[in-house]
């Protein structure tokens, strides 16, 4: 799994660097040539959607999202495990709904042959960030929950 984590980190870094360079080129273009590149806003916005989902998935694996540790750390291990499982089910429901409607959106964009306004690219390529991101988040959130439950059980065994 470390290979996938490193790959996700490199993809995130590359996409962020690309957005920074693209935005800088657009700013320079405005100041030097008094002309803006029309596609930069469209491209950076759509790439940022991919970045958000990949980043959220990476944070989920590392238990980096805000939680109720102040409350749950005081609970017995069995209740912490049950709470983590319940939270996993609720977040899974959210990401499954996002996956379902995201996939419907992509299929509609594909069916109607929608194109992006500035670049004329197929809109479904940009829309793929939603279902693919939801799927990645489902996987990574559960990976994080399983690691957290194992940590709870090892703490209990160590006490």
Give the pLDDT mean for 28-37.
Answer: 92
User: Domain locations in the chain?
Assistant: 2-158
Angle (CA) 80 83 89, round 5°: 145
Q: Tell me: the pLDDT tens digits for 45-97?
A: 999 999 999 999 998 888 777 676 777 788 899 999 999 999 999 999 999 99
Given pLDDT bands bounded at 50, 70 and 90, which one contains residue 157?
confident
Strand, helix or coil at 119?
coil
Q: Judge whether residue 2 has pLDDT over 90.
A: no
Location of structure tokens 């109720």: 68
CA–chain centroid gap for 93, Å, is: 16
Sign of the CA dihedral 88, 91, 93, 97? negative
Q: Which one is predicted more confidently, 4 or 158?
A: 4
Residues 6+ apart with CB under 8 A from 154: none
Q: What is the pLDDT of residue 158?
A: 77
In this structure, are residues 14 and 21 in contact, taking their beta carbons and an 8 Å threshold? no
In this structure, are residues 37 and 29 in contact, taking their beta carbons and an 8 Å threshold? yes
Q: What is the pLDDT of residue 68?
A: 66
Q: Tell me: the pLDDT tens digits for 108-145?
A: 999 999 999 999 999 999 999 999 999 999 999 999 99
Task: Report the distance separating Cα 60 and Cα 89, nearest Å.
Answer: 14
């Amino acid at each position: 799994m470390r290979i996938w984590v490193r790959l996700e980190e490199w993809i995130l870094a590359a996409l962020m660097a690309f957005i920074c360079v693209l935005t800088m080129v657009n700013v320079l273009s405005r100041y030097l040539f008094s002309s803006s590149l029309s596609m930069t806003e469209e491209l950076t916005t759509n790439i940022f959607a991919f970045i958000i989902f990949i980043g959220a998935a990476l944070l989920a694996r590392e238990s980096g999202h805000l939680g109720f540790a102040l409350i749950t750390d005081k609970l017995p291990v069995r209740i912490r495990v049950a709470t983590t499982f319940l939270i996993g089910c609720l977040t899974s429901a959210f990401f499954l709904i996002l996956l379902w409607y995201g996939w419907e959106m992509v299929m509609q964009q594909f069916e109607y042959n929608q194109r992006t306004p500035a670049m004329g690219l197929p809109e479904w390529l940009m829309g793929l960030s939603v279902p693919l991101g939801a799927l990645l988040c489902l996987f990574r959130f559960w990976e994080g929950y399983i690691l957290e439950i194992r940590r709870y059980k090892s703490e209990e065994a160590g006490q």
